[in-house]
Amino acid sequence: MKKIISTLLLAVLLLVSFNGSVLANTAHITFTDISSHWAEASIKKSVELGFINGYGDGTFRPENPITRAEFTTALVGAMKLPISKKSSVFVDDNNWAEPYIETAIENNIILTDEYDNLKFEPSKNITRQEIAVMAVRALDKAKEAEDQGYWKKIFSKLTDLTQVDEKFRGYIKIANDLGIVNGYLDGSFGPKKTATRAEAVVMVLNTLDKLPETDQTGQADQTEQQDQGNVQKDRLGRVIRTTDLPSNYKDYPYILATIPNEMYEMKYPYSNPDVTKRRVSSKLYSTEPQFTDENVDIWMERIEKYYDLVLNVDYRTIDENWESEAFEYINKGVNEDALRRKLKDYREWVQQNQIVVEGSLKPEPTMIYDAGFGGFFVRSQFDFKITSFKENENLLYDDLINYQKLKKDVEYKGYTDIELSTNHSGGNWGSTLRISNTASLFKNNIMN
């Protein structure tokens, strides 16, 4: 009898945690274990959207692992897919999540032939690779991901991508590029690592952000219904738009559908008074031999990796490796010793001042500007939050940080121009371009 009661209680807990129909009236719950948690805002938003909830004891348990059944239920619920009434084809799906699993199967989010002996193992903790695959399929990008040459064509910053079965490498690359499942500071993705409940809700929200917008009737935006054969895309598979163009559209090789005009029309950084020495992006791409796909990919990767370091520091884990990695992405100038001391001083200050920063920066390869002084500026989107410090001083590795009045636990977002430079003059300088030692998030930006 006790066993039956325990089983029923467990079923109730799981349904309360993942059943959207129950959640509609529970968004006001305040959990006792998410205050100051890095994913607190995302957890609250997820509960409000109704695809996940906490437990009967008032906790959310953000660091608990999440199972295949639980994640599938959350993703299907978040996407508001009609729940299937059929029995699952999996032989082990006689469980509370069976309707959600079958719904995922019917929508090609889960493919049954990828599971041995038709066993889904719903209680097994889900891995980051499995989440990446499901999310990319939910976005209807499976064909792109399974292009046999896709992952080889695009420069990858993920150091362990080759450890993944070739069939799934494209999925991981897309999930990482779209910011759905991000890699780690050391450049790895960790495909076999399991995800926590907190990580899972963030990944589901990231997936929702990439879904086509719908109108009040639930129909996809008209632009998404156009004949895909008539949609022009760039070499990275991104849609190019030809309407509602920014006022300075001629400055760029093309205009992307996913980037707002505000980013295109942001003023350029301080430039050479001699206008003949300035070059906008469209001119650079059409006249500068060093602007090859290979070089541009290298520059973008260096910027992104450098700011993965700058915008993700934690006094509990930062060490000398942070200094050496950052050093490799910076144009050293004439005094390498001074640069090493500067990096070391900041690392020690992070430890002393108990600084924790979380964030990311995404450079846009079509927005590169030559200000006429010998360097280049790459327009980038950024977001970051400073969650811990003792003194509000030198919180980021950035020469202009102390001119900013930044607050703890506030998410800052915007656009900025990141400066690149090289000491190599003439000839084939493309691969030598690195982050300028005077680059700053705050030199020329728009920030909320």
Looking at the predicted structure, is the pLDDT value of residue 326 above 80? yes
pLDDT > 70? residue 15: no
Cα-Cα-Cα-Cα dihedral of 225, 228, 232, 236, to 10°?
Answer: 100
Residue 94 pLDDT class (50, 70, 90 cuts): low
- The single residue listed with the structure tokens 């097994």 is 124
- What gap in Å lies between CA 254 and CA 233, rounded to an integer? 10
Distance in angstroms (rounded) separating the CA atoms of residues 212 and 81: 14
pLDDT score, position 241? 86
Q: Give, for 11, the enclosing helix (H) or strand (E).
A: helix 2-18
Mean pLDDT of 240-252: 90
- Angle, in degrees to the nearest 10, between helices 128-138 and 166-177: 70
Q: What is the mean pLDDT of the chain?
A: 84
Instruction: With cut-offs at 50, 70 and 90, classify the pLDDT of residue 28.
Output: low
pLDDT in tens, 32-80: 999 888 888 889 889 989 899 888 888 999 999 999 999 999 999 999 9
Q: How far is CA 87 from CA 78, 166, 302, in A?
A: 21, 32, 49
What's the token pair of residue 48? 């409000």
Paired with 377 in beta bridges are 369, 419
Nearest to 131 by CA among 56, 197, 181: 181
Position 154 pLDDT exceeds 60: no
Q: Classify strands 445-447 and 434-435 as parallel, antiparallel or unpaired.
A: unpaired
